Structure 1
Amino acid sequence: MFKILQRIIGITGRFKGRIRASYITSFIKGVMMKAPLILCYLAISSFMQNTMTKDKCIYYGLALLACLALQGVFEYITNMLMSAAGYMVFADIRLKLGDHLRKLPMGYFTEGNIGKISSVLSTDMLFIEENCMGVLAEIVSFMISQGLMVVMMFVMDYRMGIMALIIVGAFLIVGNYMLRTSMKHSVVKQEVSEDLTDEVIDFAEGIGIIKTYNLLGEKSKRLTDEFETSCREAIGFEKAYSPCARALYLTYGIGTSIMLALSGYLYSIGIFTPEYMVGMVFFLFDLFISIKAYYGHMPRLTVTSASLDRIDEVFAAEELKDLGTKELPAAGNSGSVDLAGDVSEIEYDNVSFGYTQKDVLKDVSFKIKAGEMTALVGPSGGGKSTIASLLARFWDIKDGHIRVRGEDIRDVSLGSLMDSISMVFQRVYLFQDTVYNNIAIARPDATREEVEEAAKKARCYDFIMQLPDGFDTVIGEGGASLSGGEKQRISIARCILKDTPIVILDEATASVDADNERAIQEAISELCKNKTLLVIAHRLKTIADADQILVVSDGEIVERGTHAELMDKKGTYAHMVSLQAS
């Protein structure tokens, strides 16, 4: 239990001082809650001893009002220190997690971890923030209060103190059993929550395909099964915890009864005075209330521990190392020169790469001169997208070197590398923001005139101006309120605004309608002027003028050359062209 509390305190970072200060204010609040009982005991004792006066009654009344006022004040201070700190702690943790996620290789997001990330952000962090941080000070206060209660029993009589210690020991035995039971089920409960989140995301993202192929029954069953599993585990958690909770309440009831019986015995033999006996009755039900409340928070703390494990697991994912200190030479100042004296803008030198244990690329080598277009073609799954992604360091290669203007990209800072590369994907994602901000994200310091000029070159200015608020129109998340072709042109406008010397192009017209294809081709032509291009080609007619065509299959370059050279070879490329022409 102490280890869990230490873990929680350990994540508070720069707010540790506030958290520790809240222990004091929470304890004072607890004392103010008990003070009225002490005042009542003193008042009754005065009556029993015939020493009560008018002035004493006034003093006791004023003291009661003061206790209530101080209780409210210290509760407010505790909430300000603890609850507010909890939200600020997790604001920092979320920012830290966001910074960590952006440094992870893209492979982490393609290995089934989206559900884990979503669950950590929406379930684990939220649970700790709302259910644990606010009661942390109270839990510490409970421990202090229980210790003081035991000391008070020793002050009254050593036999009372010894019996109180024995009963506290019984609470510890029950509590440790509760801890083990709750911890085991808490881990499973949070894992089930992650599986459910993953299934909900999968169902929502694939709803179009599910409906198209009439798979609602099958997919809904999987989702329903996950909900039932989650429900079953939640009920199982309660069933496993219920006997522990009953044992806790029985220990409290039996312990309180024993202390009452012992007090009565000590009174009967003349050890306790009538006033002591009255005081004991007043405090009887508060003797073990602190340790009972302490263990009553056990489920929250064990779920918190399981949640912290899952948060730590995401933070433990290895980041893509950004140890490069060099800056890329300016475009046109390449230091990579081949035997013929030609300058290479991009060079792949015996590059090998694999996801986990699976090899995807094997000894891939090629060069691209500045201002030239190289096209990657071949069957799906052959490695084309991986080759392009490695240039942007979405992953790090296993063996070999990738150089830009003579510099190994691992020796170059990621910021410098990405300042030289723009990417246009088939699948476009736009943020839930204004059209203007979705374009300006490429270069935040751009003027409005530059953003609008980029939109004109990308052939999207006209349809933007027809939107309700023009460039200030807020579009739905993912660009849901725009057509596929419109989203694609906005993404091209981004790249035009960024104006980098290297462009990676996953052929943007592969999945758009004929009406949009011409506009997108014109936009791409604007984007690609005087650029070094690495193009993943799907429609082979669009890369007939490429300076170099690489046919990629099973992670290897099986053919290379110009369109004419490859057609003369009558190999894989020529066969692909004939299939598309037929």
Structure 2
Amino acid sequence: MTALMSRIFNATGKYRGRIAWAFVFSFLKGILKNAPIALGFFTLAAFYHGTATPKFCLQIGVALVGMLLAQMLFHHIADRLQSAAGFLLFADKRMELGAHLRKMPMGYFTEGNIGKISSVLSTDMVFIEENCMAVLADLMSYLFAQGILVAFLFFFNVWIGLAGLIVVVLITLLGRGLKKEAVEDSHIRQAQLENLTESVLDFTEGIGIIKTYNLLGEKSKTLTGSFEETCRTSLAFEKNHTPWQRGLNLIYGLGTTFVVGLSVFLYFKDMLDVTYLVGTMLFVFDLFGPLKALYSQSARLTVMNSCMDRIEEVFQERELPDMGTNHIPAQSDAPEVRFEDVTFAYGEKNVLQNVSFDLPKNRMLALVGPSGGGKSTIASLLARFWDVKAGRILVRGQDIRTVPLSELMDQISMVFQRVYLFQDTIYNNISIGRQEASREEVMEAAKKARCYDFIMALPEGFDTVVGEGGASLSGGEQQRISIARCILKDAPIVILDEATASVDADNESYIQEAISELCKGKTLLVIAHRLNTIRNADEILVIAGGGIAQQGTHDGLMERAGIYKQFVTARENSRGWSRKGA
């Protein structure tokens, strides 16, 4: 139990001083809490021996009032110190976690860890913050108080002191069993809470598809099953904990009876003075109270231990190294982007194998090929969402791993099919591209992205708050705002995951115009879904099977057999696409 409390204390960081002072005041409070019993003993002894005087009684009364007031003051100070420290500590921890997550590779967020992150933030941190930090100093005071009470028994009689000490040892041994059982169950309980969080997130994020395909019954059963499993896990936690707690209560009762019986026996054997017998009776019914209070918190402490494990597990996840000190030159004779024998794997499975190509400045390179071939992975590696397994990626001759990540991101703008807008004003969503930009610059970017007119038609114009994810806007409107964000950023390299692939015809023309504005004078890496958008690309890479299957211009690739020609021919036959079209 002390190890668990020590672990919390060691995790308090810069607030450790506050907690240490809370220990001091809780210790003083613990002493004062039991002091009236000692005063009662001395008062009864004085009356028994006929030494009590009015002055003595007045002094006892003043001492009792003083102890009560001091106890109230120490309790208040300890609470303020430890409770405030808990909230301050986890405010810092949440900020620290946010900073840590920003440095994580994107793969971490696509491996089913969203439920874990949500659970750590909304369950684990909250549990420790609200349930443990506020009682930490009190738990330490229980240990001090128990030591003081046993010491008093030795003061009365060595045999009574030994009896009390034996009972304390038995309680401690049984408490270790309780702790071991509770720790195992706590890990299961918190893991199931994470599973429940993941199930709720999956259900809410996919509610549109679930309704569309009439899967409410099936998916509801999955979610309901997760709730039921959480209920069973929580009940099992309490059920497994109860026998140990019952055993402790039994020892408390039998131990108290044993001390009382021994005291009476010693009295009748003339080995214990009557005043000490009475003193023992004053102490005995609260003798094991501190340990009882301590072990009543054991469930909290063991759940806290599991929460700490889970929090530390997230913090121990490997960040993308960002120790680079080199800089990307403003001008260079080297290609704007170069891949040199790049190999990359998700886990043990290679996705790219020895991929090499150059992208000169102000040129357009298009990536085409079957789904899963590695096109998006190439774009993600350039933005350093992940690090390569082997080989190098260079921007103007500089390995991107050797430059600060923030400097690399200043060089790149990204437009993807799936747009995310924050629950904020449209103005703030655009100004994310360059936060120091003036209002006039933000509006000019909106005009170039062909979204100024529909923004001004909204109730609050640029100050209109959009729903989380941009839910209050159409897909095409969201896309144009994301392009305005990139235009404002004005980065020299643009990664474009064809933004018109999933929008209606009305929006497509606006988006094409917006993309044309974005791409003026830029170096382009385009992931193509519609072949007509890459017809005029300076070079086309056909990505298949984790490598470059073909490479060349549109006309050149069409003159020879291969994946590209088959792909184009299939599109012509199925959609009437014309190679001579725009």
TM-score by length of 1: 0.95
Find the counterpart in structure 1 of residue 312 from structure 2: 312
More divergent stretch after superposition (524-533 vs 435-444): 435-444
Find the aligned partners of 1:358 and 1:390 in 2 and give their Cα distance: 16
Partner-residue secondary structure (3-state), 1:560: strand
Q: Deviations over 1:201-251 (max 9, x none)?
A: 111111111111111122111111111111111111111110000001001
Q: 1:266 offset after TM fit, Å? A: 2.4
Q: Do the aligned residues in 1 keep the contact of 2:416 with 2:497 (CA within 8 Å)?
A: yes
The answer to whether structure 1 residue 500 and structure 2 residue 491 are counterparts is: yes
The answer to whether structure 1 residue 473 and structure 2 residue 471 are counterparts is: no
Change (3 A) 1:465 1:40: farther
The answer to whether structure 1 residue 426 and structure 2 residue 417 are counterparts is: yes
Q: 1:32 offset after TM fit, Å? A: 2.5
Find the aligned partners of 1:431 and 1:59 in 2 and give their Cα distance: 68
Partner-residue secondary structure (3-state), 1:428: coil
Q: Deviations over 1:323-343 (max 9, x none)?
A: 32111011xx1242xxxxxxx
The answer to whether structure 1 residue 385 and structure 2 residue 376 are counterparts is: yes
Partner-residue secondary structure (3-state), 2:559: helix
Q: 1:53 offset after TM fit, Å? A: 4.8
Q: Percent identity?
A: 57
Partner-residue secondary structure (3-state), 1:73: helix
Find the aligned partners of 2:172 and 2:546 in 1 and give their Cα distance: 61
Could you tell me which amino acid in structure 2 is paired with residue 240 of structure 1? N
Find the aligned partners of 2:293 and 2:504 in 1 and give their Cα distance: 65
Could you tell me which amino acid in structure 1 is paired with residue 259 of structure 2? M
Find the counterpart in structure 2 of residue 167 from structure 1: 167
Q: 1:568 offset after TM fit, Å? A: 2.1
Could you tell me which amino acid in structure 1 is paired with residue 135 of structure 2? V
Find the aligned partners of 2:122 and 2:522 in 1 and give their Cα distance: 42
Could you tell me which amino acid in structure 2 is paired with residue 431 of structure 1? F
Find the aligned partners of 2:476 and 2:72 in 1 and give their Cα distance: 61
Q: 1:31 offset after TM fit, Å? A: 2.2
Find the counterpart in structure 2 of residue 346 from structure 1: 337
Q: 1:37 offset after TM fit, Å? A: 3.0
Find the counterpart in structure 1 of residue 93 from structure 2: 93
Find the aligned partners of 1:20 and 1:434 in 2 and give their Cα distance: 45
Find the counterpart in structure 2 of residue 111 from structure 1: 111
Q: 1:271 offset after TM fit, Å? A: 3.5
Find the counterpart in structure 2 of residue 126 from structure 1: 126
Match of residue 332, structure 2, among 328, 331, 334: 334
Q: 1:346 offset after TM fit, Å? A: 0.7
Q: Do the aligned residues in 1 keep the contact of 2:153 with 2:280 (CA within 8 Å)?
A: no
Match of residue 445, structure 2, among 446, 454, 462: 454
Q: Deviations over 1:290-346 (max 9, x none)?
A: 11211221111111111111112111211111132111011xx1242xxxxxxx111
Q: 1:427 offset after TM fit, Å? A: 0.9
Could you tell me which amino acid in structure 2 is paired with residue 555 of structure 1? G
Q: Deviations over 1:319-375 (max 9, x none)?
A: 111132111011xx1242xxxxxxx11111111111010010111111111111111
Find the aligned partners of 1:60 and 1:151 in 2 and give their Cα distance: 22
Partner-residue secondary structure (3-state), 2:285: helix
Change (3 A) 1:284 1:465: same
Q: After TM superposition, list the pairs within 5 Å mapping 1:256-271 onto structure 2.
A: 256-271=256-271
More divergent stretch after superposition (293-302 vs 161-170): 293-302
Find the aligned partners of 1:242 and 1:477 in 2 and give their Cα distance: 45
Q: 1:56 offset after TM fit, Å? A: 4.5
Q: After TM superposition, list the pairs within 5 Å mapping 1:34-53 onto structure 2.
A: 34-53=34-53
Find the aligned partners of 1:468 and 1:46 in 2 and give their Cα distance: 84
Find the counterpart in structure 2 of residue 11 from structure 1: 11
Partner-residue secondary structure (3-state), 1:422: strand
Find the counterpart in structure 2 of residue 576 from structure 1: 567
Find the aligned partners of 2:283 and 2:461 in 1 and give their Cα distance: 71
Could you tell me which amino acid in structure 2 is paired with residue 487 of structure 1? Q
Q: Deviations over 1:102-155 (max 9, x none)?
A: 111111111111111111111111111111111111111111111111111111
Could you tell me which amino acid in structure 1 is paired with residue 411 of structure 2? S
Find the counterpart in structure 2 of residue 339 from structure 1: none
Find the aligned partners of 1:74 and 1:160 in 2 and give their Cα distance: 31
Match of residue 439, structure 1, among 417, 420, 430: 430
Could you tell me which amino acid in structure 1 is paired with residue 137 of structure 2? A
Q: 1:422 offset after TM fit, Å? A: 0.7
Could you tell me which amino acid in structure 2 is paired with residue 107 of structure 1? G
Find the counterpart in structure 1 of residue 145 from structure 2: 145
Q: 1:389 offset after TM fit, Å? A: 0.4
Q: 1:269 offset after TM fit, Å? A: 2.9
Q: Deviations over 1:514-535 (max 9, x none)?
A: 2211111111111111000001
Find the aligned partners of 2:365 and 2:6 in 1 and give their Cα distance: 57
Q: 1:54 offset after TM fit, Å? A: 4.6
Partner-residue secondary structure (3-state), 1:349: strand
Find the counterpart in structure 1 of residue 579 from structure 2: none
Partner-residue secondary structure (3-state), 1:481: coil
Partner-residue secondary structure (3-state), 1:132: helix
The answer to whether structure 1 residue 363 and structure 2 residue 361 are counterparts is: no
Find the counterpart in structure 2 of residue 283 from structure 1: 283
Q: Do the aligned residues in 1 keep the contact of 2:413 with 2:493 (CA within 8 Å)?
A: yes
Q: 1:579 offset after TM fit, Å? A: 2.9
Change (3 A) 1:534 1:58: same
Find the aligned partners of 1:418 and 1:10 in 2 and give their Cα distance: 37
Find the aligned partners of 2:463 and 2:275 in 1 and give their Cα distance: 77
Q: After TM superposition, list the pairs within 5 Å mapping 1:174-573 onto structure 2.
A: 174-330=174-330, 333-336=331-334, 344-573=335-564
Q: Deviations over 1:457-507 (max 9, x none)?
A: 112222222223222222222112222111111111111111100010111
Q: Do the aligned residues in 1 keep the contact of 2:149 with 2:283 (CA within 8 Å)?
A: no
Find the aligned partners of 1:501 and 1:358 in 2 and give their Cα distance: 33
Could you tell me which amino acid in structure 2 is paired with residue 427 of structure 1? R
Find the aligned partners of 1:53 and 1:467 in 2 and give their Cα distance: 87
Find the aligned partners of 1:443 and 1:390 in 2 and give their Cα distance: 23
Change (3 A) 1:65 1:470: farther
Find the aligned partners of 1:65 and 1:478 in 2 and give their Cα distance: 61
Could you tell me which amino acid in structure 2 is paired with residue 161 of structure 1? G
Find the aligned partners of 2:354 and 2:478 in 1 and give their Cα distance: 36
Find the aligned partners of 2:138 and 2:550 in 1 and give their Cα distance: 71
Partner-residue secondary structure (3-state), 1:272: coil
Could you tell me which amino acid in structure 2 is paired with residue 577 of structure 1? V
Q: Deviations over 1:17-62 (max 9, x none)?
A: 1111111111112222223333444444444455555544544443
Could you tell me which amino acid in structure 2 is paired with residue 245 of structure 1? Q
Find the aligned partners of 1:53 and 1:484 in 2 and give their Cα distance: 90
Change (3 A) 1:56 1:540: same
Aligned positions, number: 573
Q: Do the aligned residues in 1 keep the contact of 2:142 with 2:293 (CA within 8 Å)?
A: yes
Find the aligned partners of 2:62 and 2:437 in 1 and give their Cα distance: 67
TM-score by length of 2: 0.95
Find the aligned partners of 2:299 and 2:32 in 1 and give their Cα distance: 28
